[in-house]
Structure 1
């Protein structure tokens, strides 16, 4: 069996501030070590349950070059770098049996939640068929498009609640309790890793009981952007139209895979600075 472990950074135990997640800030090296360690715990849990499993670990934060390759469990394959197909789910295909989301965070606008956002600060909200979705929902639905279930999520308590709303039978591990955007009560990293390893084994064992999140097309998508010039750029993309209010763009997608790829493109455009 093939398991894909997508690892973000904001939901890792002990991490509460951008200085720990930004490569240009002073505390980033500690953050990337904590991230790598939790990836290893999830890998170990998968292999506890399925010793012959093929495990792909996906570096899914920011530049997608955060985890320390030399410290990663040697039994795993590492997907690293960008741009790449399917972004945070690079490596997902029809052979994948289960997806595990480690170190994830709540969507923009939800709280209290540690460093809640959707893709980047340029996106205020993404609504698919009228439903607000952050990175948890978007990635779960992309996996579901290929009939792959998201069987585990770790992060703060708000991220775990968001995951259960989308996939009620998902196994969750709350490694910290959010007090706000930049504060939490966190488990000791070693305790968090032990819980994550046990939960990953449980999630893989009961993966057949977890239904994939499927959103049938065609789909109407709305994206709220942080600044008017981002809307100007987005409106240059064929099929994307201006919505109401000056900060919203809309488009139609034949299926969720098409919607997902276009949201990734809009997220990238939202990082472009005006000339």
Structure 2
């Protein structure tokens, strides 16, 4: 059994501000250590549940946050950027289960450091009219490969919202409760890691017994990306076969991978 882990930073316990998530921030080194610990807990749990191979993709910012020298020995790490599929680089149909560790809620939600891929450019993302954030889009891409998402960790907002999207069978760990976009009541790292390891073990061990939801959207697929201003949208609309409406760029395709790649291309164009 193969488990794929996509790891972000904003949803790690104790992480609440820019000083934690920016490599130049005063608290960044501590935050990446906390991130590595939570990812290790997910890796340990996956192996205890019966996984034979675990691949971790560093999915935050520069995507060089996880400290490979401290990572669980048997896991493999995908690090650096740019890379195909970005936050989901390396995912294929060969995997059996996906974990989303340290995730956050979408732009505008009252969760810790909430944004949708690029806080400085993206206002809203919709797939077939449904507003989605990173957990949603990444879960739909997993669905393209027929791989279910079995575990999501982060604050109380992202775990609740993702369970609403995917279903009650999804395992979650809310390692902190958002009080505002930059304040939270947090678990200690020791407790957070214990719960993550337990839920990861359950998610993998129950895979053969439970019907996990594979998230798919009805075709034809329509991606609607709204940007913070018209200039950004005009740059994104340089992608072929798009339609520009005010500050929103629309792209249609029957293939979820093409939709995801179009989103990535737009994000690159507006940088």
Residue 155 of structure 1 and its aligned partner are, at CA, apart by 0.3
Q: Aligned residue for 1:238?
A: 240
Q: TM-score, normalised by structure 2?
A: 0.96
Q: Aligned residue for 1:29?
A: 29
Mapped to 2, the partners of 1:22 and 1:217 lie a distance apart of: 38
Residue 253 of structure 1 and its aligned partner are, at CA, apart by 1.4
Residue 209 of structure 1 and its aligned partner are, at CA, apart by 2.3
Mapped to 2, the partners of 1:236 and 1:154 lie a distance apart of: 35
1:44 aligns with 2:44: yes
Bigger mean CA offset, 199-208 vs 25-34: 199-208
Instruction: Specify which of 99, 117, 120 is matched with residue 119 of structure 1.
Output: 117
1:126-137 correspondence to structure 2 within 5 Å: 126-137=125-136
Deviations 1:122-177 (A, max 9, x none): 11111111000100000000000111000000000000011111111210000000
Q: Aligned residue for 2:140?
A: 141
Q: Aligned residue for 1:173?
A: 173
Secondary structure in structure 2 of the residue aligned to 1:209: coil
Q: How many residues align?
A: 267
Residue 68 of structure 1 and its aligned partner are, at CA, apart by 0.6
1:77-156 correspondence to structure 2 within 5 Å: 77-111=76-110, 113-121=111-119, 122-156=121-155
Q: Aligned residue for 1:223?
A: 225
Q: Is the 8 A contact 2:239 2:265 kept in 1?
A: no
1:69 aligns with 2:68: yes
Deviations 1:8-30 (A, max 9, x none): 00000110001101111111100
Mapped to 2, the partners of 1:184 and 1:268 lie a distance apart of: 31
Secondary structure in structure 1 of the residue aligned to 2:231: helix
Mapped to 1, the partners of 2:74 and 2:265 lie a distance apart of: 33
Secondary structure in structure 1 of the residue aligned to 2:96: strand
Residue 218 of structure 1 and its aligned partner are, at CA, apart by 1.5
Residue 55 of structure 1 and its aligned partner are, at CA, apart by 0.3
Deviations 1:232-261 (A, max 9, x none): 111211011111xx2111111122111111
Tell me, which stretches of 5 or more residues in structure 2 are unaligned?
A: none
Secondary structure in structure 2 of the residue aligned to 1:137: helix
Q: Aligned residue for 2:256?
A: 256
Mapped to 2, the partners of 1:217 and 1:64 lie a distance apart of: 32
Residue 269 of structure 1 and its aligned partner are, at CA, apart by 2.2
Mapped to 1, the partners of 2:90 and 2:239 lie a distance apart of: 26
Q: TM-score, normalised by structure 1?
A: 0.95
Tell me, which stretches of 5 or more residues in structure 1 are unaligned?
A: none
Residue 265 of structure 1 and its aligned partner are, at CA, apart by 1.4
Mapped to 2, the partners of 1:128 and 1:26 lie a distance apart of: 37
Q: Aligned residue for 2:182?
A: 182
Deviations 1:61-90 (A, max 9, x none): 011110111011111000101111111111
RMSD: 1.0
